[in-house]
């Protein structure tokens, strides 16, 4: 198989026989939903390939290739009347320069639009009644001229706009008041983006622009430009489009088994690969929490390609192209109260609960002195770093981290948030490395006492609890090259606090262990001690306190049950060491290893 990693050219995929998951049947649904549509998905989720597919399907000049391109696909077996009926113009705002003054960005945007109108003129010259005049200063004038010429020629125009919010988001997420002012200059008042969308709206009001399909990441930019373009229908939450961009599990499983046959390796290894991919890449639910979750297609292709070439999984499950998504988490963390939302996303067993997912909100709502938690959580959903899950008993919408690749981005950001000094992060890794090699938790506990607890105290997170302890450990021992790291893992009928189970390809390494940790927190008021008194206790004295002994006994009983369930799940190959960790307020940590070996 030829996997099209990084290729968004539909014509090339089909004619060069690349791997392609057929979603062409969705074109009929898209046509039925309306004529001016907005479809939102996170970056690197296949939106550009979707537009390339639409471009080839509707382009009047591709009619002779229809059978070759679509005959074997679902829409080719049952085409809509609109196939190959349009002159198609496509813009891609991801290539618009986001650096410089608003005037410089406007110049880049207008140059991009003019370039594609010029390309459009040459592409469809035999079908146009005359040349389309370009205005070198104002590309919206060029657009109006293009629409007029298309209408005069008896043709219909379909505008495809890719990554409509990309350059505006880059300006916004650069951070700082100056960049926010640059963003506002682009989208508010007579800003260039608002002006462009006003002209698209005008062209679609019976003047000759028949259909518009826009992709982007979030509704923020369009909301801020709403009076300029308030006719677009947001179709991102339509149930029938849930898997429009993304792979279903049966498609991933079938591909892995096909690769296993090519590699002449046992089918059990394909099942292990599926388990690994499910942990790292699955879990996205953009429409309904009751529906099947989907896999990120770009990450899946990255894995497929490596698995086929090397007949083993990649060591790094996070494709480097996704590392920049951490900046988006950093942007939200930098908003007023945003750090609390980011910490809650990692800490809370139930995820982040909000009244409902917002589909229209702007920058001013998010950056107000007292921003609504709902706006920030909704933005994290659109960015692809939170996803839908079941509702709370009160009907609130819950959002959770979808998978381990995304969890790693949070872990890295929280480390930077609580340990801004690189030397501190290096010291934390040294303590974690010692734990992995020896099973000794003491250096980690000492590091958390001296560094993390001080950071948490400085930020006065009044809702901190035993989940905060788990988060502190999680950010230090998250090591996805060796382990599948999970928190609140379903084990039997309970949920373990933190598990580190070796990835399948690491099971042959006898020097590595699997780990299971359970955390308890005892308030200083319950101990009847002050923070200073707790700090003066030796480890032996702290461990001998009656409430600590009770907590150790409760944790040990839980760990024994979880150990039994994990052993039944993973078999004799599991080498599990279990630990109970007790926090005495946020002053001291005491721990005991309750079982080792396997």
For 546-560, the pLDDT digits (tens) are 999 999 999 999 999
- With residue 114 as reference, give the H or E element that holds it: helix 102-123
Residue 245 CB contacts under 8 Å (≥ 6 apart), including other chains = 23, 41, 45, 46, 47, 50, 297
Tokens 């698995």, residue?
307
Res 322 pLDDT > 80: no
Paired strand residues for 589: 583
Alpha helices in 8-70 (DSSP H): 10-15, 26-33, 47-58, 66-70
- With residue 431 as reference, give the H or E element that holds it: helix 422-438
3-state secondary structure of 198: helix
* Annotated domain spans of the chain: 10-241, 249-322, 420-598
Question: Lowest-confidence range among 11-15, 220-224, 226-230, 363-367?
Answer: 226-230
Round to whole Å and give the CA distance between 89 and 55: 8
- Which among 322, 433, 334, 441 has a CA at the least distance from the CA of 379? 334
Q: Mean pLDDT throughout 445-452?
A: 91
| 494-502/514-522 β-pairing | antiparallel
Paired strand residues for 522: 584
Round to whole Å and give the CA distance between 428 and 431: 5
Res 461 pLDDT > 50: no
Interval 98-126: pLDDT, tens: 999 999 999 999 999 999 999 999 999 99
- Which among 252, 523, 198, 543 has a CA at the least distance from the CA of 403? 252
How big, in percent rounded to 5, are the helix, strand and coil portions of the chain? Answer: 50, 15, 35
Interval 218-237: pLDDT, tens: 999 888 886 667 888 999 99
pLDDT for the residue 460: 41
Mean residue pLDDT across the chain = 90
What letter does residue 247 receive in the DSSP assignment? B
Residue 150 CB contacts under 8 Å (≥ 6 apart), including other chains = 87, 128, 156, 157, 208
CB of 261 closer than 8 Å to CB of 308: no
CB of 69 closer than 8 Å to CB of 14: yes
Q: How far is CA 307 from the centre of its chain?
A: 23
Take residue 529 and report the two structure tokens written for it. 């001690």
Q: What percent of the chain has pLDDT over 70?
A: 94
What letter does residue 390 receive in the DSSP assignment? P
Q: How far is CA 556 from the centre of its chain?
A: 36
Angle in degrees, 0-180, between the axes of helices 26-33 and 47-58, rounded to the nearest 10? 80
Res 572 pLDDT > 90: no
CB of 245 closer than 8 Å to CB of 45: yes
- Which among 301, 299, 292, 287 has a CA at the least distance from the CA of 382? 287
What letter does residue 343 receive in the DSSP assignment? H
Round to whole Å and give the CA distance between 119 and 280: 41
10-241: CATH number:
3.40.50.300
Take residue 47 and report the two structure tokens written for it. 């939106």
CB of 424 closer than 8 Å to CB of 438: no
- With residue 288 as reference, give the H or E element that holds it: none
Q: Mean pLDDT throughout 20-37?
A: 97
Q: How many residues does the structure list for the chain?
A: 598
Q: Mean pLDDT throughout 154-182?
A: 91
What letter does residue 227 receive in the DSSP assignment? T
CB of 1 closer than 8 Å to CB of 259: yes
CB of 236 closer than 8 Å to CB of 286: yes
Round to whole Å and give the CA distance between 501 and 279: 12
Round to whole Å and give the CA distance between 399 and 235: 20
Burial class (CB in 10 A: 0-12, 13-18, 19+), 188: middle
Q: Mean pLDDT throughout 355-384?
A: 88
- With residue 359 as reference, give the H or E element that holds it: none
Round to whole Å and give the CA distance between 87 and 304: 36
Question: Lowest-confidence range among 36-45, 96-105, 362-371, 536-545?
Answer: 362-371
Q: Mean pLDDT throughout 498-525?
A: 91
């Amino acid at each position: 198989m030829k996997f099209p990693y990084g290729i968004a050219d539909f014509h090339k995929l089909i004619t060069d026989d690349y791997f392609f998951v057929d979603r062409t049947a969705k074109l009929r649904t898209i046509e039925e939903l309306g004529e001016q549509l907005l479809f939102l998905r996170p970056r690197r989720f296949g939106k550009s390939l979707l537009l390339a597919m639409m471009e080839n399907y509707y382009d009047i000049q591709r009619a002779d290739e229809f059978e070759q391109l679509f005959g074997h696909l679902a829409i080719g077996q049952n085409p809509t009347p609109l196939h190959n009926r349009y002159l198609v113009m496509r813009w891609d705002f991801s290539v618009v320069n986001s650096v410089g003054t608003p005037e410089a960005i406007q110049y880049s945007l207008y140059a991009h639009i003019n370039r594609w109108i010029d390309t459009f003129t040459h592409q469809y010259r035999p079908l146009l009644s005359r040349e389309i005049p370009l205005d070198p200063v104002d590309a919206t004038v060029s657009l109006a001229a293009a629409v007029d010429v298309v209408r005069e020629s008896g043709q219909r125009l379909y505008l495809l706009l890719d990554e409509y919010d990309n350059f505006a988001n880059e300006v916004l997420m650069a951070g700082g008041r100056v960049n926010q002012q640059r963003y506002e200059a682009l989208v508010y008042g007579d800003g260039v983006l608002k002006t462009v969308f006003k002209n698209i709206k005008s062209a679609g009001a019976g003047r000759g622009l028949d259909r518009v399909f826009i992709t982007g990441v979030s509704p923020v930019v369009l909301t801020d430009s709403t009076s300029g373009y308030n006719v677009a229908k947001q179709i991102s939450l339509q149930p029938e489009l849930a898997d429009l961009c993304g792979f279903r599990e049966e498609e991933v499983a079938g591909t892995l088994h096909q690769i296993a046959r090519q590699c002449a390796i046992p089918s059990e290894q394909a099942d292990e690969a599926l388990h690994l991919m499910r942990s790292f890449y699955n879990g996205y639910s953009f429409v309904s929490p009751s529906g099947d979750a989907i896999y990120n297609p770009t990450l899946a292709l990255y894995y497929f390609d490596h698995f086929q070439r090397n007949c083993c999984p990649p060591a790094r499950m996070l494709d480097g192209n996704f590392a920049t998504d951490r900046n988006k988490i950093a942007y939200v963390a930098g908003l007023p109260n945003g750090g609390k939302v980011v910490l809650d996303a990692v800490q809370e067993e139930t995820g982040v609960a909000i009244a409902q997912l917002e589909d229209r909100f702007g920058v001013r709502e998010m950056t107000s002195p007292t921003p609504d938690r709902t706006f920030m959580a909704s933005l994290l959903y659109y960015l692809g770093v939170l996803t839908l899950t079941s509702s709370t008993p009160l009907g609130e919408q819950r959002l959770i981290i979808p998978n381990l690749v995304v969890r790693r981005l949070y872990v890295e950001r929280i480390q930077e948030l609580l340990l801004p000094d690189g030397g501190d992060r290096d010291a934390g890794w040294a303590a974690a490395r010692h734990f992995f090699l020896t099973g000794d938790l003491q250096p980690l506990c000492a590091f958390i006492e001296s560094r993390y607890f001080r950071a948490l105290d400085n930020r006065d997170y009044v809702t901190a609890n035993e989940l905060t302890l788990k988060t502190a450990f999680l950010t230090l021992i998250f090591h996805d090259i060796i382990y599948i790291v999970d928190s609140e893992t379903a084990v039997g009928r309970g949920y373990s606090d933190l598990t580190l189970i070796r990835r399948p390809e690491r099971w042959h390494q006898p020097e590595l262990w699997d780990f299971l940790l359970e955390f308890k927190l005892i308030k200083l008021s319950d101990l009847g001690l002050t923070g200073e008194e707790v700090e003066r206790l030796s480890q032996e004295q702290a461990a001998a306190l009656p409430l600590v002994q009770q907590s150790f006994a409760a944790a040990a009983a839980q760990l024994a049950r979880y150990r039994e369930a994990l052993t039944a799940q993973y078999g004799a190959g599991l080498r599990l060491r279990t630990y109970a960790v007790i926090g005495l307020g946020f002053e001291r940590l005491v721990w005991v290893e309750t079982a080792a070996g396997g």
